[in-house]
Amino acid sequence: MPSALKPMRYGHTEGHTDVCFNDTGSCIVTCGSDGDVRIWQNLDDDDPTSFNVGEKAYSCALKDGRLITAVSNNTVQIHTFPEGAPDGILTRFTTNANHVIFNSDGTKVAAGSSDFMVKVVEVTDSSKQKTFRGHDAPVLSLSFDPRDVYLASASCDGSVRVWKIADQTCTTSWPLLQKCNDVINAKSICRLGWQPGNGKLLAIPVDKVVKLYRRETWDSQFDLSDTFITETLNIVAWSPCGQYLAAGSVDGCIVVWNMESQKCIERMKHEKNYTICGLAWHPKYKQIAYTDTEGNLGLFEDIGDEKKSNDKVTSTATKDYNDLFDGDDDYLSGDMIEPQSSPKTGANEEDADDDDLKPTSGNFRRAIIDEDDNSLDIGMIKANSNLLEKEDDDDDETGGFPALPPSSTQQPFYDGPMPTPRQKPFQSGSTPAHLMHRFMVWNSVGIIRCYNDEQDNAIDVEFHDTSVHHATHLPNSLNHTMADLSTEAILLACESTEELASKLHCIHFSSWDANKEWTVDMPKDEDIEAICLGQGWAACATSALLVRVFTVGGVQKEIFSLPGPVVSMAGHGEQLMVIYHRGTGFDGDQCLGVQLMELGKKKKQILHGDPLSLTKKSYLIWVGFSAEGTPFYVDSEGIVRMLNRGLGYTWIPVCNMREHCKGKSDHYWVVGIRENPQQLRCIPCKGARFPPTLPRPAVAILSFKLPYCQVATEKGQMEEQYWRSVVFHNHMDYVSKNGYELDESAKSQAVKEQQELLMKLFALSCKLEREFRCVELADLMTQNVVNLAIKYASRSRKLNLAQQLSEMAVEKASELAAALEDEEEEEEDLRKHLNAGYSNSATEWRQQPVRNVHQDQEVEDAEETDAYEEVEETPEVHKERPNPFSKGVASVEVTTPKSIVISSGSQGRMNPFKVSSKKKDPVVPSANVLDTMSKYSKKNCSSSSRAVNKQSPPVIKPLIPKPKSKQISAASFFQARAPNSSEKVVEEREEKAGNESHEVKVTAQENTENRRPKTGFQMWLEENRANILKDNPDLNEAEVIKEGMSRFRLLSSEERMAWTEKAKGGTVNDSAEDKKRKRPTADEDEVKKNKEQKSEDSNLSKKPKPLDQSANVKLSAFAFKQS
């Protein structure tokens, strides 16, 4: 029977991995750099038992139900086997131990450490220790003499020593190895071994040969080598019978020699040429389990099974059997690709009843055709005959023996890319589920910890902001393994057991009723695999490839299918993001897809299962949203990516956390992300991928950095800063489109910062004579800053550039005008639509259509000051009707971040659920944001346009008495409406007020038709125009008005009022109307003044200025400094 090599499988994370069999050989035990010990029933075991022994496990040994591990906290620990329960610490070193071994009867353990020491400890009484000092560098490996007389050790100091255990003396020493200062720099870990049984020979891997030394004389007996070995040997291992010696090299070769003939009988090459760092022989069968430095586990079977007696039979029988099975080629080619081990692997082995070695995978082989002793396995006959011919031709073939050479009826071996094991589902911000103390979730709201030990099985919930909710302690009787936390609820889920279904449990602590908890059982055989919470909803993804959505109160809502098994989910506000397996990845890559949907009133899907970009050979470790609602995810290579809504929903890498790590094995564990300010909140983990629960980890803040080229140069640095600012402020457009409150000052600050960077880049390009680049940069600027660039270009004597920029400025102005006209048309359509059954009060769209930019500008500027008057005037109608239940009340108190603006007319007909403004964003080129901002904000503030513009905060502050409480205002919506009752009330009040409403309408009409008398601002401008032109001789008419506006705003409110009164006093019509409209008592006047002040303040705060005076001054100073 030929030797067989089974495909390797992923066992641990990248790093040194060790392997051993248990005493009976029924299972394989591995440990790795993830700190886990895994117990595999066989290589096909998809669910190995796993328990954690520390942050990193360097070596393991197993005997008599005791598992010894060398871990990164500098201890050698004992665990019971197979339970994995901690059973004490055997010994400690000042640094970590690199190798641990049992002696032949399991009574002693030897450990070698990086602090140059070797210790031998009694297993039953750890106080009985012997220390061996003499090495001058870290100890690499150890081997016990089977007779318990000697102990061999290899070290980074280049020597291999043999110690006498009884008196702790060094018997002999050979300078065989290359010297180095640490284990990670060693060319070989030099795992040496004594021959089992009598301990006659000591095998030491030295470069490309294995040297064998004779016991007692310590002479070199002979060397074993093979032309197949091309790199340094790393490890040797003796078969339990002592007849065979296996060796593994740093480039993935495994060779086996027969010690009697000293000939190489097996050669095998690792499928990816990774370093072999663990070899273990099966205690009964001729199998070798091996591990590599990437954490993979493999099995090499049927070693040295050459049944010489049957050679002739098999070769002569081949032809006849080929003829016999001509019609059944499918069986041979499909099922006989690679023979699996048979329980009877050697002539001298009688045990045939070990279940763990029976064929388990249909891909490799069907069971033997017939159980009869006389029957022959056709695949075996073919394989043997071909192998034997090959052996006769060339015994020392350097390519090694393939397990099954292709023949006419067999497909050749698959030698292409190997499929990657699929990543298991996980909750972002959680640590592995097998830990006794773990984080179930750590996010921007709080932390949920789970304790599962002898004393307690409980869950602790802690909130970062205790005003949201106090800390909570919950029992964990259902053994919940998943959790999520929001400002409304705690969501928990557990897997199903034999008796109980998988459950979703929600604690809705923000509920105003008494019943705050609900639980939902999943259907039979459906397990919850991932959960998440949003605003007002919860969702879970299940093993049936379904996503189930619930309200936070427990109502079942939508269900939809996923195209593949879920990996993780995240929720924020109305957004739900689901990551799942799109297909099978190859060569270490995962193949993931992402769906992003909005579960608000208008349910829509944003990302339709698009492929998720990951770094090569990495997997997903965190997925979530920033505090502002932008999707982010992080892969195992530390690359953080965010959704760039400004470039068609693409993903952009914004940080490489590996750049911030000091050591290769250090990582950052993400807990939250903010875009304004730009913060990546994470926990540094030294030598691990996740933090322990105790002591409480400290949160670090990392900065973002886009991977632009040449960021060391001034140009590259400014480009990176500019685009990072653009990308990280995209959320503002999304937020304003969706009707949330928006901090306009932050937006204007961001635009200002971006324009300053563009101006600096422009100046740099000017210096470098890159005029075409200057024009490209100017295309990104706002109109104001383009004007500044024109000045800079002309001062720098670049007249051609100044000309190009002037043409661009004209284009920008015409684009802006076109955009404004489109906006007006949209407003007109909307007004017509809303006029059905509604009358427009003076505060709704009553403004003249735009004719051209300059004219519009003048009208706007003239209206600016009247905004203050009109905002006072129009609510005068309501001042004498303080009844909050009246249908004339023009707004509702804002209670949620999503403000609903309810407009009503003097007719009093109103629909409380109607959102009055559905205006779309004006289609304005991004370069004109600053330039147009003042216009939009002016419109918003003036009475001539009170529709909610999406670019301004949708919070209306009415100048009327507010309802007593939210409940009252809500109740007023549902009062039975007697026909025309409110109209009557309105009419009576209008009569009392002397037909004020009508006159206000007329006034507003006249104002917007531009037939108004002079305003205070116009009078002020006439007097101060000369001063403005004196300071800024280059300004055209529109710019003079703009500059005048900014100066007029700087005046105190008293001065502005004086100018306004002066303007009113100078006009007979206006003063007459004023007398009609306003007869304030002293008290009313005081109230009016206060309200006016508030109105001015709110107007000012809502008006992001294009670039305020100081910014203009700064930029121009910067621009002209050089010239």
Output the six-digit token pair for 851.
């004719």
Q: According to the model, what pLDDT value does residue 355 have?
A: 42
Instruction: State how far the Cα of 767 lies from the Cα of 753, in Å rounded to an integer.
Output: 21
554: region left, alpha or beta (phi > 0 left; psi from -120 to 50 alpha): left
771-777: list long-range contacts, CB under 8 Å, 24+ apart. 771/798, 771/800, 771/801, 771/804, 774/798, 774/801, 774/805, 775/801, 775/804, 775/805, 775/808
Q: According to the model, what pLDDT value does residue 472 have?
A: 92
DSSP string covering 533-594, please?
E-SSEEEEEETTSEEEEEETTS-EEEEEE-SS-EEEEEEETTEEEEEEE-S--BTT---EEE
Output the six-digit token pair for 805.
């920029």
Instruction: State how far the Cα of 179 lies from the Cα of 44, in Å rounded to an integer.
Output: 40
Going through 1054-1095 in order, the beta strands assigned E by DSSP cover none
Q: According to the model, what pLDDT value does residue 1087 have?
A: 45
The helix/strand/coil state of 978 is coil
Average pLDDT over the chain reads 76
Taking a C-beta distance cutoff of 8 angstroms, is the pair 595, 575 a contact? no
> 86 preceded by cis ω (within 30°)?
no
Q: According to the model, what pLDDT value does residue 1013 have?
A: 63
Instruction: State how far the Cα of 844 lies from the Cα of 244, in Å rounded to an integer.
Output: 95
> 339 preceded by cis ω (within 30°)?
no
> 1013 preceded by cis ω (within 30°)?
no
pLDDT one-digit tens code per residue, 900-954? 443 334 344 555 555 544 444 444 444 443 444 444 444 444 433 344 343 444 4
Taking the CA atoms of the chain, what radius of gyration do you get in angstroms?
40
Q: According to the model, what pLDDT value does residue 997 have?
A: 43
Q: According to the model, what pLDDT value does residue 742 have?
A: 78
By C-alpha distance, which of 931, 919, 977 is closest to 752? 931
Output the six-digit token pair for 593.
């897809």
Q: According to the model, what pLDDT value does residue 968 have?
A: 42
pTM metric for this prediction: 0.47
| β pairing state of 546-551 and 537-542 | antiparallel
Q: According to the model, what pLDDT value does residue 227 have?
A: 87
Q: Where are the alpha helices (DSSP H) in 270-420?
A: 311-324, 329-335, 378-393
Instruction: State how far the Cα of 27 lies from the Cα of 47, in Å rounded to an integer.
Output: 13
Ranges of the chain with pLDDT below 50: 307-409, 839-908, 916-1011, 1067-1082, 1087-1088, 1094-1096, 1098-1107, 1122-1123
pLDDT one-digit tens code per residue, 875-884? 333 434 444 4
Place of tokens 């550039």: 801
DSSP string covering 775-827, please?
HHHHTTS-HHHHHHHHHHHHHTT-HHHHHHHHHHHHHHHHHHHHHHHHHHHHH
Q: Please name the helix (run of DSSP H) or strand (run of DSSP E) that holds residue 1049, with its range, or none.
A: helix 1037-1050
Instruction: State how far the Cα of 571 lies from the Cα of 754, in Å rounded to an integer.
Output: 31
